[in-house]
């Protein structure tokens, strides 16, 4: 399980780096999907199968499909690739690089304080749904109302 965790983490990190460095937007999206799937595997290894599958269904399966859908509508060609390449200059890297490095140091210091136990207890679907419709029922209902409002307004816009 530990090997699986580190493997998935490595894939997630490398593919996320590829997302940033790719100039072809479709390839970048494929790497992003890969990264999300790797995160799903990490969730599974950490004992949250429900979260893992939802990650695959919702993020990798639905939201990224919509990203791809939008990219299909736009006319991406060589000129966008050239534009991307010009943005990836060394000077543009300095500020985000420093900030990301600071974040990494912070993250590592936090990790150093908690004990790294990968064999945490498994949280199955029942437990998650018990929590969602128990203590957090108000948040779930509010989110569903927000989604319903979004649905109705999307329908209204499409009707026009």
Which residues are at the interface with other proteins (CB under 8 A)?
24, 26-27, 30, 33, 49-50, 52-54, 56-57, 60-62, 64-66, 68-69, 71-73, 124-125
- For other proteins, the closer CB: 72 or 131: 72
> What single string gives the DSSP state of each residue in 110-147?
HHHHS---S-PPP--HHHHHHHHTTTTHHHHHHHHHHH
State the minimum distance, in angstroms, from the CB of residue 60 to other proteins: 6
CB of 42 to other proteins, least distance (A): 15
Report residue 46 as tokens: 């950490």
Name the residue nearer to other proteins (CB basis): 65 or 139: 65
Q: Are the C-beta atoms of residues 36 and 61 closer than 8 Å to each other?
A: no
The distance of closest approach from Cβ of residue 103 to other proteins in the complex, given in angstroms and rounded to an integer, is: 30
Tell me the two tokens of residue 15.
């593919």
Q: Which is nearer to other proteins, 16 or 61 (CB)?
A: 61
Exposed/middle/buried for 154, CB within 10 Å: 0-12, 13-18, 19+? exposed
Q: Closest Cα to residue 84, out of 130, 145, 23, 133?
A: 23
Select 65 or 145, whichever has its Cβ closest to other proteins. 65
The least distance separating other proteins from the CB of residue 48, rounded to whole angstroms, comes to 10
Nearer CB in complex with other proteins: 7/76: 76
Minimum gap (Å) between residue 3 Cβ and other proteins? 19
User: Are residues 17 and 28 in contact, defined by beta-carbon separation less than 8 angstroms?
Assistant: no
Contact 55, 40 (CB under 8 A): yes
């Amino acid at each position: 399980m530990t090997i699986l965790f580190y493997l998935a983490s490595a894939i997630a990190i490398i593919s996320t780096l590829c997302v940033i460095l790719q100039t072809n937007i479709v390839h970048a999206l494929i790497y992003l999907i890969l990264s999300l799937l790797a995160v799903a595997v990490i969730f599974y290894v950490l004992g949250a199968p429900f979260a893992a599958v939802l990650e695959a269904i919702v993020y990798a399966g639905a939201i990224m499909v919509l990203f791809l859908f939008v990219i299909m509508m736009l006319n991406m060609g060589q000129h966008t690739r050239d534009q991307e390449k010009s943005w990836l200059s060394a000077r543009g890297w300095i500020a985000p690089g420093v900030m990301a490095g600071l974040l990494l140091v912070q993250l590592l210091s936090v990790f150093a304080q908690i004990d790294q136990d990968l064999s945490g207890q498994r949280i199955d679907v029942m437990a998650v749904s018990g929590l969602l419709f128990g203590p957090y029922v108000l948040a779930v209902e509010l989110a569903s109302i927000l989604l319903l409002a979004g649905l109705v307004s999307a329908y209204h816009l499409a009707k026009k």
